[in-house]
């Protein structure tokens, strides 16, 4: 696994995780976030899977993303009060939550206009791994044919609350040290 960090215009780092001849990029675009997956070598794609294995040090970050969305705790509140529990239950019972989370599989897409055929990111927790499945939707005119991007919008989106777990993932990944070809990722703890 190779981890690269590149300073961006937002004052944070774009994160690139490379393994199995694939690159997963997570970067900030204003108040929003974009997750992009592609093969290292140019290959025209419509689908691509990226696995985060339980023994990899980045796994806890992606597990937290998954668990917070599935549990409806998108604001990552540590002290679950009665009020917080009621809000979480309200989210779980909302129609948008039921569209996003089905059978513990998370399906994220961008609802920005004028996109009528957004790309899809499915997140599944399986034994020993978290699987990120990217799908290029037919009818979508991608800028690149070798990458699939999902834009996670905070502003003006009906999925706005689901942006927060991705924001926390991005913030957590900022602490990662760059790693070149090491099998196990090391984290810098503050």
Please compute the mean of the pLDDT values over residues 158-177 and round it to a whole number: 85
Q: Which residues, in sequence order, are bridge partners of residue 38?
A: 23, 147
Asked whether residue 167 carries a pLDDT value surpassing 80, the answer given is yes
- Cα separation, 39 vs 20, in Å, equals 9
Q: Does residue 190 have a pLDDT over 60? A: no
**Predicted pLDDT of residue 63:** 96
Whether 182 is in a domain gets the answer: no
Per-residue pLDDT at 117: 62
188 located within any domain: no
Query: What's the pLDDT score for residue 184?
Result: 46
Position 182 pLDDT exceeds 60: no
Name residue 120's beta-bridge partners. Answer: 109, 135
**Per-residue model confidence (pLDDT) at position 188:** 47
The verdict on residue 180 lying in a domain is no
Q: Strands across the sheet with 22-29, in order? A: 2-7, 13-19, 22-29, 32-39, 147-152
In this structure, of 83-87, 96-100, 124-128, the range with the lowest mean pLDDT score is 83-87
Residue 185 within any structural domain of the chain: no
Q: pTM (2 decimals)? A: 0.82
Return the DSSP state at 117. Answer: S
**Among 42-46, 142-146, 168-172, 183-187, whose mean pLDDT is lowest?**
183-187
- Residue-level pLDDT at 181: 63
Does 85 fall in a domain? yes
**CA 179 vs CA 2, 18, 152, 186, 187: distances in Å:** 5, 10, 26, 8, 10
Report yes or no on 23 lying in a domain: yes
pLDDT band at 142 (very low <50, low <70, confident <90, very high): low
In a domain, 186, yes or no: no
The total of structural domains in the chain comes to 1
Would 45 be classed as within a structural domain?
yes
Structural domain that includes position 10 = 2-173
């Amino acid at each position: 696994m190779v981890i690269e960090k590149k300073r961006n215009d937002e004052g944070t780092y774009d994160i690139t995780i490379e393994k199995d001849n694939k690159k997963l990029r997570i970067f900030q675009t204003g108040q929003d976030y974009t997750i992009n997956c592609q093969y290292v070598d140019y290959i025209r794609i419509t689908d691509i899977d990226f696995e985060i294995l339980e023994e990899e040090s980045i796994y806890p970050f992606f597990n937290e993303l998954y668990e917070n969305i599935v549990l409806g705790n998108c604001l990552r509140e540590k002290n679950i009060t009665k009020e917080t529990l009621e809000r979480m239950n309200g989210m779980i019972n909302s129609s948008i939550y039921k569209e996003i989370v089905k059978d513990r599989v998370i399906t994220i897409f961008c609802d920005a206009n004028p996109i009528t055929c957004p790309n899809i990111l499915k997140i599944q927790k399986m034994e020993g791994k978290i699987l990120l499945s990217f799908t290029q939707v037919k009818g979508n005119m991608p800028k690149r044919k070798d990458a699939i991007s999902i834009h996670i919008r905070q502003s003006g989106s009906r999925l706005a609350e689901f942006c927060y777990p991705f924001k926390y993932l991005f913030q957590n990944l900022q602490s990662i040290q760059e790693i070149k070809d090491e099998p196990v990722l090391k984290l810098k703890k503050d």
